[in-house]
Chains A and B, each alone.
Chain A
Amino acid sequence: MSKMVLTRLGMALISLLAVSAIIFWCVEFLPGDAAERILGRNATPESLALLREKLHLNLSAGERYLHWLTSLLSGDFGTSLVADRPVLDYIASRIANTALLSGFALILYIPISIGFGILTAIYRGRFTDHAISVIVLIFMCLPEFVIGILLISIFAIKLAWLPPLALIGSAQSFGQLVELMALPTITIVAAMSAYAVRMMRESLIEVLDSSYVLMARLKGLPKWRVLLFHALPNALGPAINITALNVAWMIGGVVVVEAVFEFPGIGRLMVDSISHKDVPVILAISIVMTGAYIVTNLVADLLVILLNPKLR
């Protein structure tokens, strides 16, 4: 198994390199450059030329990429063209925010998807199943920003239970932080767990119909024990794979949710950086996102192997 982990890590490094090159070249094709973005409407040809020189944008694309790569190897992610700050410094707090949001979402998401998955599988064909399935289907179809705006108008405006925007810069206590992040967390969880619930339902139904679950019941074991120790571990596999995809989606920064709730996360930072063509930041974020995606998938695969002894 350690061989597998090592091979995967090796391939991860290659992927990261490839991703950085591809993204660099894609961004190159976007019109304009950072200097134009910074100066905006007030740009004059002279001010543009001056700024371009300051930002080293007058070098060729290949030179810039190599320069970036070499400084990366010494641990320097470069300086943001636009914010004039070291990139790592600049994106660190955003990454932390997104990680926090993802963490909260995961904490909520796991019991919900497993719980509802179990409910719909056990009561399959009955009212509970239909009710939950319909709700889940609705959430699957609604785009995240619609869910987000709905939640804001109900919980933040009509009922005033929670603040509408996740302006976490002004949180003074952990309790306040949780309050501010409640709605975006719920939005993300609502969007993600729909798929997991359905996946859980399908695989649990299949497992509940299996011979070994029958055997466990015929052994005289109480049903909760059969569900927990015999059925669930074998049904979780596909749900874990879906969760890996969901987590990767979250870590990539859910731009839409961040925009609706003004959450200072990495998604919007990425979009802003792209519209500014702030190449060092774009590359740094891409590396982080790719890395997170790879790690998540690796963890999920390991979990699946752990749960299914046949794969070891």
Chain B
Amino acid sequence: MYGKDILRISRRALLATTGAALAAGPLATALHVPKAFAQPKTLRIAAGEADGATGTLDPALSTADPDAARINLVFERLVVLDDTFSAAPQLATSWESNATGDEWTFKLQEGVKFHDGEPFSAKHVVYTFKRLLDPKTASPGASSMAAIDPAAITAVDDLTVRFKLKAATVEFPALIANRFTYILREGQPESELRTSGIGTGPFKVQKFVPGDDVSTYVKNESYWRAGLPKVDVVELRAIPEESARIAAIQSGQIDLCWDLGRAGVEELQKNPDVKVVTTRAPFVLTLSCWADTPPFDDVRVRQAMKYVVDREQMLQLVLRGLGNIGDDNPVAPWVQYALKTEPRARDVEKAKALLAEAGHPDGIDVELFTSETTPGFIEMATLYQAMASEAGIRVKLTKAPSSDYWSAVWLKQPFVCSSWSGRGADDALAAPYLSTSDWNETHWKRPEFDAFITEARATTDVAKRTELYQKAQQLLRDDGGAIISVFPDALGAVRANVSGWKLHPQQSTKDFSEVSIG
């Protein structure tokens, strides 16, 4: 009744507009200037963790992943770790200790300038460390460096710094190669440190406002390493949604990203414009229980819980093969001082027997907390539940919200999923398992273990030290409350035209100085 005439014209118009719209698409693509050719050379990188208003450029307070990214662009450290987690030089060229290992002297690199032209010298190092250890700064990194006596950091001369330690620490250089010890420029007002720190790194801050979605950094023209960096501008943004990050790199909206999950990687591997970058990393995924709480307080129960794990299957199903097998030892086999053992094979019968011996012939009921906060947690927990059920370990899975997992669940529940970023042997053993550690997630207190560590730290002889660390690892593996079955590889992706980037296994270390485009 109505339609025929009233819209005879409109229908034609509709077809015409649709046609125009359809044509406009390809036309727009043809005219679209690819970002890569825009001048100047801009490297767009994306972090996988949300970078909200808590973002900071102050190394002493750096806790989040995007913070680490930006700090690595702007600052440098005395010492960095290589991928076996041994110390390598950066701003310090060489170091030596005294015979007892409680006094360390570092020789500094010559010819380094801060972004404002101020020459780099020992006084800046002294300033940085004193500030880091100052309780007023409230840095979370202060406790791990409690060994340093803040009053006894001295600038011997412009290019030499000496540290006196309260206790002998043989691995002192590795100890200070952490995310907090980037060297600041003395004299910069405290208020500027959060957003516009001046460092010696390959890039200068152009604009960083916490809470803004993108921060920009420009090339440091007088960077001390010649020929670097190879790009003019770096844009850093955070894209916490993994699917969004993958879409962005596939379409070329970003050039480089890390912190990818397994599923996304598979998709990217099929895309010719994108290269997937993997690095073996001692990132630890663990199921940790309190060794002082029943039923976990019996070592046989803890061992039974370790025997039910099919480690190869964990690797395949949780990590899709992108990783390495662990043997209930947080020190990865390729890291310095690692204990190389034959990974514990799955033995359900042995597990049942151990449980029976411990007085649980019908098995035990436990509650395992997991969350989406770290990739792999849920898969690992679910798989563990299935594996453990065969031996009579009935696991009840509780999924906790990710927003406050680390403050409300970790360290507060007796059996949780946990993770530790890749670190060297000492740190991997001490931070979670020393009986005095603030972060003793297994409540496991063994004076022998503590003694091994302490002694190892004081032993200057490398072979002896290795033996001590290995003994500690053996003890932890057999007696401890951590079930560590896999070490996930670190995964990242770059556009096909980007080269020179190595994904460092220590998550807080990111090196963009050698990246080039095209």
Contacts and interface: CB of A to CB of B under 8 A. Distances in A.
A22 B143 CA distance: 40
Interface stretch (A69-77, A82-90, A99-107, A235-243): A82-90
B382 interface: no
Interface in B1-21: 2-3, 5-7
Given A84-B194, A163-B253, A262 B53 contact: no
B28 interface: yes
B138 A47 contact: yes
Interface residues of A, number: 58
B247 interface: yes
Contacts, number: 142
Contact of B213 (A41, A46, A126, A167): A167
A51 interface: yes
Contact of A278 (B53, B141, B403): B53
B54 A261 contact: no
Contacts of A169: 212-214, 237
Given A41-B63, A122-B3, A208-B2, A90 B53 contact: yes
A208 B135 CA distance: 77
Contacts of A309: none
Given A46-B135, A93-B212, A122-B7, A82 B140 contact: no
Interface residues of B, number: 49
Q: Which of B3, B136, B247 has the most CB of A within 10 A?
A: B247
A211 interface: no
A39 to B, nearest CB: 6
B211 A80 contact: yes
A123 interface: yes
A297 interface: no
A37 B64 CA distance: 11
A187 B3 CA distance: 30
Contacts of A302: none
Contacts of A170: 44, 214, 235
B413 interface: no
B266 interface: no
B140 A47 contact: yes
A243 B64 CA distance: 41
A40 B214 contact: no
A276 to B, nearest CB: 7
Interface in A185-215: 208
A37 B50 CA distance: 13
A299 B243 CA distance: 38
B226 interface: no
A39 B140 contact: yes
Nearest to A264: B213
A261 B211 CA distance: 17
A161 B253 contact: no
B407 A36 contact: yes
A117 to B, nearest CB: 14
A123 B3 contact: yes
B250 interface: yes
Given A40-B64, A123-B3, A126-B3, A80 B53 contact: yes
Given A42-B141, A80-B211, A170-B235, 19 more contacts: A32-B404, A40-B407, A43-B407, A47-B139, A47-B140, A50-B136, A51-B138, A83-B52, A90-B211, A123-B2, A126-B3, A128-B3, A159-B25, A163-B253, A165-B247, A165-B248, A165-B253, A170-B44, A276-B52
> 4 tightest A-B contacts by CB?
A42-B140, A83-B53, A164-B247, A169-B214
8 contacts: A42-B140, A42-B141, A93-B212, A152-B247, A159-B25, A169-B213, A169-B214, A170-B44
